[in-house]
């Protein structure tokens, strides 16, 4: 298969992450309309996202391991079918509990089928410019707020939240199933490489990998990074509305973050290829923490836009770098399993933000403590990242 096909893999991966993660995070757009139509609490609706992240974490590990064993195509195909079904069922929920279970469990399980398998597939196709390629695949998450979120807002305005969510589910089927059929493994991976497997992590027990300093620091940094930004991302539209920004303009702030995240992925990925992954990651974590604290000082639309550029480029740019570190530390043969495990930890971190943010708003009627706490956690992520061991392939003697 032509080496140029690797860019088809990048394009398919970017589309999948855009649709899947965009559909999942669109709950931030649905939150206020759902609460107004059903009288469900903000914390109750946000807890669906918390459950979503918890299930997504476990699913990311399981789907990553499955992609190592069966290949990524079957994994993402199952995820495509399941995501559309999950959104259609969630749109029919008649109670808060039904919504929490269908959206939280099924959407989380489906959305987790794309990121780790497609990142693993992309790293297998690229030896040069790997950081940039992985960043472009994850750029779908940055495009999502510019596409899925405004589309969801328009559907809600034109119909109602239930019809809007159902139509997004149908669109997920239309876009993701054909994209999943494009996924291939590189020829050498499909036929089996003659490279010494012990050098690439295949013969190292997973228990030893997960207890290694490399994985502990990787997982800890990923966890804290996502715990820091998940709450502010999810509650940004609500926060801007409270500050007096019109609802559609508030959604546009979310979109600006996504656009900045797209640029940040390209910028940080290019810098990581040139300067090294670790220093770029630490710098991005510090920028993220500073931006989170600065949200306490903004109140006007222009200020939100300016800070969204900084914040979006930072958290968007650093997210793909964890996959590159996992590939460099542990090799290609177990990348799906290892990065899936790291993604599981990050999803647990993501789970705290929406629920805690909802509780803070219900308790204090503002989000000040959310941004203060998030900035502190962000600084903690940068501190953990400083403990990364030297960037060399893990070599452990099998038991």
Structure tokens at 179: 């994209």
| CA–CA separation, 84 and 168 (whole Å) | 8
Angle at 57 between CA 222 and CA 156, to 5 degrees: 105
| CA–CA separation, 214 and 329 (whole Å) | 7
The verdict on residue 200 lying in a domain is no
- Going by pLDDT thresholds of 50, 70 and 90, the confidence category of residue 115 is confident
Of 11-25, 204-218, 385-399, give the lowest mean pLDDT range: 385-399
Q: Which tens digit of pLDDT belongs to each residue from 331-354?
A: 777 777 888 888 888 878 887 787
Higher pLDDT, 90 or 25: 90
Q: Which tens digit of pLDDT belongs to each residue from 198-222?
A: 445 455 677 788 888 889 999 999 9
Number of domains in the chain: 1
Query: Which whole number is the average pLDDT over 381-388?
Result: 91
| CA–CA separation, 233 and 228 (whole Å) | 10
Q: Which tens digit of pLDDT belongs to each residue from 212-269?
A: 888 999 999 999 999 999 889 888 888 888 888 887 788 788 778 878 887 888 888 8
The pLDDT value given to residue 396: 47
Q: Tell me how crowded residue 2 is: count the other CB atoms within 10 A of its CB.
A: 8
Query: Which whole number is the average pLDDT over 18-40?
Result: 86
Instruction: Sort 389 into a burial class: Cβ within 10 Å, 0-12 / 13-18 / 19+.
Output: middle
The verdict on residue 197 lying in a domain is no
Of 122-131, 165-174, 363-372, give the lowest mean pLDDT range: 122-131
- Going by pLDDT thresholds of 50, 70 and 90, the confidence category of residue 112 is confident
Higher pLDDT, 57 or 18: 18
pTM listed for this prediction: 0.70
The verdict on residue 199 lying in a domain is no
Buried (b) or exposed (e) across 160-189, using 16+ Cβ within 10 A? Answer: ebbebbbbbbebbbebbeebbebbbbbeee
Q: Tell me how crowded residue 1 is: count the other CB atoms within 10 A of its CB.
A: 12
In 3D space, the residue among 18, 67, 54, 11 whose CA is nearest the CA of residue 347 turns out to be: 54
Question: Is residue 389 a contact partner of residue 217, using CB atoms and an 8 Å limit?
Answer: yes
The verdict on residue 96 lying in a domain is yes
In 3D space, the residue among 8, 3, 115, 98 whose CA is nearest the CA of residue 59 turns out to be: 115
Query: Which whole number is the average pLDDT over 368-381?
Result: 93
Q: Average model confidence (pLDDT) for the chain? A: 84
In 3D space, the residue among 333, 327, 337 whose CA is nearest the CA of residue 393 turns out to be: 327
The verdict on residue 392 lying in a domain is no
Buried (b) or exposed (e) across 59-77, using 16+ Cβ within 10 A? Answer: bbbbbbbbbbeebbbebbb
Helix (H) or strand (E) holding 223: helix 213-242
Q: Rg of the chain over CA atoms, in angstroms?
A: 20
The pLDDT value given to residue 166: 94
User: What CATH number corresponds to the domain at position 23?
Assistant: 1.20.1250.20
Q: What whole-number percentage of the chain has pLDDT above 70?
A: 92
In 3D space, the residue among 226, 257, 229, 232 whose CA is nearest the CA of residue 343 turns out to be: 226
The verdict on residue 313 lying in a domain is yes
Q: Which tens digit of pLDDT belongs to each residue from 269-315?
A: 888 888 888 899 999 999 999 999 999 998 888 999 999 999 999 98
- Going by pLDDT thresholds of 50, 70 and 90, the confidence category of residue 194 is very low
Task: Answer yes or no: is pLDDT of 196 > 60.
Answer: no
> Rounded to 5 degrees, what are φ and ψ at 350?
-60, -30
Alpha helices, H only, 102-160: 108-111, 115-125, 130-158
For 129, left (φ over 0), alpha (ψ -120 to 50), or beta?
left
| CA–CA separation, 390 and 385 (whole Å) | 12
The pLDDT value given to residue 223: 93
65's CB contacts (< 8 A; 6+ apart) are 336, 337, 340
The pLDDT value given to residue 237: 82
The verdict on residue 190 lying in a domain is no
**36 SS3 class:** helix
- Residue 197 has what DSSP assignment? G
Q: Which tens digit of pLDDT belongs to each residue from 138-178?
A: 777 767 767 887 888 899 988 889 999 999 999 999 999 99
The verdict on residue 399 lying in a domain is no
Q: Tell me how crowded residue 101 is: count the other CB atoms within 10 A of its CB.
A: 16
- Going by pLDDT thresholds of 50, 70 and 90, the confidence category of residue 78 is very high
Angle at 293 between CA 260 and CA 40, to 5 degrees: 80
The pLDDT value given to residue 79: 93
Task: Answer yes or no: is pLDDT of 397 > 60.
Answer: no
> Rounded to 5 degrees, what are φ and ψ at 389?
-65, 170
**4 SS3 class:** helix
Structural domain of 81? 3-185+205-385
Within 13 A of 366's CA, how many CA atoms are on the CB side? 9
| CA–CA separation, 22 and 66 (whole Å) | 23
């Amino acid at each position: 298969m032509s080496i140029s096909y690797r860019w088809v893999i990048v394009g398919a991966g970017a589309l999948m992450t855009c649709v899947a993660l965009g559909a999942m995070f669109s709950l931030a757009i649905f939150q206020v309309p759902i609460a107004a139509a059903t009288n469900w609490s903000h914390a109750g609706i946000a807890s669906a996202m918390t459950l979503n992240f918890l299930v997504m974490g476990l699913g990311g590990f399981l789907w990553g391991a499955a992609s190592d064993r069966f290949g990524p195509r079957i994994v993402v195909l199952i995820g495509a079918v399941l995501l559309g079904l999950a959104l259609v069922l969630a749109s029919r929920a008649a109670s808060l509990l039904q919504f929490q279970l269908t959206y939280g469990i099924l959407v989380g399980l489906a959305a987790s089928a794309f990121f780790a398998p497609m990142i693993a597939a992309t790293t297998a196709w690229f030896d040069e410019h790997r950081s940039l390629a992985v960043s472009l695949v994850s750029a779908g998450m940055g495009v999502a707020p510019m596409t899925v979120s405004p589309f969801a807002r328009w559907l809600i305005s034109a119909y109602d939240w239930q019809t809007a969510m159902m139509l997004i589910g149908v669109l997920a089927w239309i876009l993701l199933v054909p994209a999943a059929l494009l996924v291939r493994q590189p020829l050498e991976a499909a036929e089996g490489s003659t490279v010494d497997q012990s050098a690439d992590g295949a013969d190292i027990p997973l228990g030893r990998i997960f207890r290694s300093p490399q994985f502990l620091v990787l997982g800890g940094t990923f966890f804290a990074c996502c715990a820091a930004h998940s709450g502010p991302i999810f509650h940004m539209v609500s926060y801007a509305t409270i500050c007096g920004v019109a609802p559609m303009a508030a959604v546009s702030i979310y979109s600006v973050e996504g656009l900045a995240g797209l640029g940040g992925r390209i910028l940080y990925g290019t810098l990581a290829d040139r300067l090294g992954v670790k220093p770029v990651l630490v710098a991005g974590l510090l920028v993220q923490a500073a931006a989170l604290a600065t949200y306490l000082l903004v109140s006007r639309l222009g200020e939100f836009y300016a800070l969204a550029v900084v914040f979006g480029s930072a958290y968007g740019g650093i997210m793909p770098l964890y996959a590159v570190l996992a590939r460099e530390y542990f090799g290609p043969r177990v990348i799906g399993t290892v990065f899936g495990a790291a993604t599981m930890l990050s999803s647990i971190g993501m789970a705290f933000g929406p629920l805690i943010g909802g509780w803070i708003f219900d308790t204090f009627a503002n989000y000040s403590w959310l941004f203060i706490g998030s900035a502190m956690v962000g600084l903690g992520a940068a501190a953990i990242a400083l403990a990364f061991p030297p960037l060399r392939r893990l070599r452990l003697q099998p038991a």
